Structure formats: C-alpha cells, structure tokens
A and B are shown apart, each in its own frame.
Chain A
Amino acid sequence: MSDESQTNAASPNSPAAGSFDAFVGPHLPVLLRVAGSLCRNSHDAEDLVQDTLIRAFSGLGTFDGTYPRAWLLTIMRNANINRHRRQRPGLLHDATDLAGEADRRNPPEPSAEDVAAAHTPAPWIADALGRLSPRHLQVVQLVDIDGLTYDEAAAALGIPAGTVTSRLHRARHRMRAHLNHDPDFRSEHR
C-alpha cells in the first residue's frame, strides 16, 4: 500500500478506480520522461513508472482530484526513494552516514553526459550543460527539457518551488554567460 493512502483521509473527489487508465494515460509520457531523468536508463525508468502506477492506484481513494500530474510525480519521487532504500538497506540505520542519507532523500542527479546521451543536443548546448552543477542541470532537464512546471519539478524533487525557480534561473544565467562567448550561439542569434 502506498505512503499516500496510509496517511490521508479518503476524498470524495477522487477518480473512479475503473477509469484509472483514462485518468493516468495523458500523464504517462511525462512520467516516463521524468523517470528517465531520475534513473539514467530506460529499463529502470519503466520499472519506476510501473511502481508509481501501482502506488497511485492503491492511493487513488485519497487523491482529491486536483493537480494529478504533481500528485503522480510526488508518488514517483517516493517510489524512487524506496527503490534506493531497497538497494542499500545496510546504510539505512547508520546515523553517521549523513552523506548517504542525503543521497537517498534526493533522486540521483544526472551528469551532463547523461543528458547529452539522452537528448543529443546541439554541441553548443551540450557544452553549456556540461558546465552546470548536477543540481542546476537537474532542474534545467526537468523544466526546460522535460517540460515540467516549477511546481511539478518541485514535486518530483521534493524541494520547494522557490528553490526550483532560483536554481533554474541561476542555471540559465550561467548558460547564457557562457554562450555569450560561443560563436555558434552568436552567429545564429544576432
């Protein structure tokens, strides 16, 4: 049973279980794309979305019917955390492993190579992405490449929307500062 269904009261506005496939269908491409950003390989990404669907179905009665994509992304984030816990059970109760705990609480961050390999961007974009920190790269990927809103990216990462905004704006600012010296960017632009 999902974390969501255990902690929330039943909602009268939740979608009917029999229409679950119609309810989640429009969101599957985004879920799979974001899972790909979180998991780094397509097999794990599909497994994560499967896990998310099963958890969402279990918790459907407690969903209030608003912001379904953000709700599904929150479930996906929790499912991803649980997958990492299962893969590293020995570290769960080690109070001294603060770095490990922080790692488990946050989805794995992609490297610039992961993003480049997945999306084959233009060389000048790949170069600018490669100069970002993993945290900045992650929000650029979720918002500017995967197409999430700030709130949806916040749900997927488990951080405040304001943090998404500040990271995203800083990342774009740094990319622009770098691209100002790139002849390919300039030649097509001015």
Chain B
Amino acid sequence: MTPHAMLDMIRRKGGARCIEIGRQIQTYLDGGLDPAAAAKVSSHLHACRRCGLTADDYRRLKSALAETTAPMPAEPLQRLQALAAELAAGDTPLA
C-alpha cells in the first residue's frame, strides 16, 4: 500500500480524519469542545482503535497527574480564613 493510500484509509475511519481528530482529543477530554464537535470526536474514538488508544493514554496521564495533588494542610487554611474574617469585620487595618 502506498503512503498516500494508507493515509486515505486512515482518514476515512470513523467518518472523520484521524489527523483532524488528533488535534482535538486533548480539548475534547478537557471538556472544551462544543456539543457538535464533541459528538464527532466521540464517534471517531469509538470507531478508530488507534485514536481511541491515544485518548486512553491522555485520560490515564491526566488521571495520574490529578492523583498527585497533595492533601491541603488545615492550619494555613484556618489562618487565612481567620484573616478573611478579620478583614470582613474591619478588625485588620489596611496598609
């Protein structure tokens, strides 16, 4: 198969072009596409194994990064909330 024929075959899968969809996968996973565009990407990801696996990679990467968020210590938050309350009550003079 010639490179051109291979590219044409890839582009026909799922009714949309893999290259075009590939540019939108991250925005799609971040919820940044309008409903019509999101539906088009979703349809392609179900039909095209290659693009579906790419999306799975990004999902796993995003999930792993989100899981690295450290727990927030309580004390600094309590001090900051107290400062906000003092400001609201007019107890803290502004410089």
Contact = CB atoms under 8 A, between A and B. Distances in A.
Residues of A contacting B: mostly: helix
B82 to A, nearest CB: 9
Contacts of A180: 57
B1 interface: no
B60 A20 contact: no
B68 A125 contact: yes
A94 B53 CA distance: 52
A28 B56 contact: no
Contacts of B36: none
Contact of A121 (B26, B30, B64, B81): B64
A21 B60 contact: no
Contacts of B26: 168-169, 172
Given A46-B76, A150-B32, A185-B60, A19 B81 contact: no
Given A42-B76, A58-B94, A17 B88 contact: yes
Contacts of A140: 65
Interface string B4-30: 000000000000000000000011001
Interface in B26-62: 26-27, 30, 32, 53-54, 56-58, 60-62
Contacts of B67: 121
A175 B61 contact: yes
A32 B72 contact: yes
A105 B93 CA distance: 29
A145 B65 contact: yes
Contacts of B79: 46
Contacts of A147: 66, 69
Nearest to A176: B57
A50 interface: yes
A186 B60 CA distance: 10
A168 B77 CA distance: 29
A21 B57 contact: no
Contact of B83 (A18, A50, A145): A50
Interface of A: 1, 17-22, 24-25, 28-29, 31-33, 42, 45-46, 49-50, 53-54, 57-58, 118-122, 125, 140, 144-147, 150, 165, 168-169, 172, 175-176, 179-180, 185, 188-190
Q: 3 closest pairs, A vs B, by CB? A: A21-B84, A121-B68, A144-B65
Interface of B: 26-27, 30, 32, 53-54, 56-58, 60-62, 64-70, 72-73, 76-77, 79-81, 83-85, 87-90, 92, 94-95
